[in-house]
Each structure stands twice: as structure tokens, then as C-alpha cells.
Amino acid sequence: MMNYEWQDTLLREEDLAKRAAAIVPRMLAHPRVTLDQISRLRGHINDCIDRLGTLLAEMEDAGVEQVVLGAAHNVRDTWESLAHKAAERSRLFETDFVDVRPTLSDNKDQGVATH
């Protein structure tokens, strides 16, 4: 039989993950989001993944029904998907920084013969 506390925790985690799944992609797509904001968001998401991992381990050790474990895995999968999206957005910042470097074709002296 499932511990009431686990059920309550899982329902709260599920609600939090659903709200995050609605909000996080909009935040990541915002043109003025900063790398610092994304880094902090990634930290929060990783905390949620860790919490779910601990909850899952405890539930598995206690022999909780498969359907409940499946629900917990789904919540963790939601967080992992958001973690992936946030990591991708962080990589876009790195790409943006690379892209602003001047290229050789921007150098006005290139191709000018100096005899």
C-alpha cells in the first residue's frame, strides 16, 4: 500500500512539473532572458530531478505499485525534458558569443594589394 505522504508529495511534484512545462519554454524563448537567469533555472530544474530521483528510489524500495512508479517517472521525464531545453538555450548563448566575433571578410584591408 502506498504511503499517504508519498502520494501527497507526488501530486505536488506533478503539479509543479505541469506548471513548469507551461512556463519554462516561454521563459527560454523570451528575447531578453539572460544566461544568469537560465543558469539559475537549470539549478532549480536539477534540484527537482534530484528530488524525484530520491522519491523514486524510496518508492521502489518500498514496493509501490507500478502505476504509481510510472507516474513518478513521467514527472521526472518532464523535468529532464525541461533541463534539456534549458541546456540547449544556454548553448545558444555560447553560439551567439562566437557569432559576434569579426570574420576575416569584415577586415577592410583584406584583399587590398599593397605594392
pLDDT tens per residue, range 76-101: 999 999 999 999 999 988 776 554 44
**Alpha carbons 44 and 50: distance in angstroms, whole number:** 10
Task: Read off the C-alpha cell for 49.
Answer: 530531478
User: In whole angstroms, what is the distance from residue 100 CA to residue 11 CA?
Assistant: 45
User: What are the pLDDT digits (tens) for 16-67?
Assistant: 999 999 999 999 999 899 999 999 999 999 999 999 999 999 999 999 889 8
* Distance from C-alpha of 54 to C-alpha of 77, rounded to nearest angstrom: 14
Domain-by-domain residue ranges, the chain? 5-14+33-96
75 touches 13 (CB < 8 A): yes
Specify the pTM.
0.78
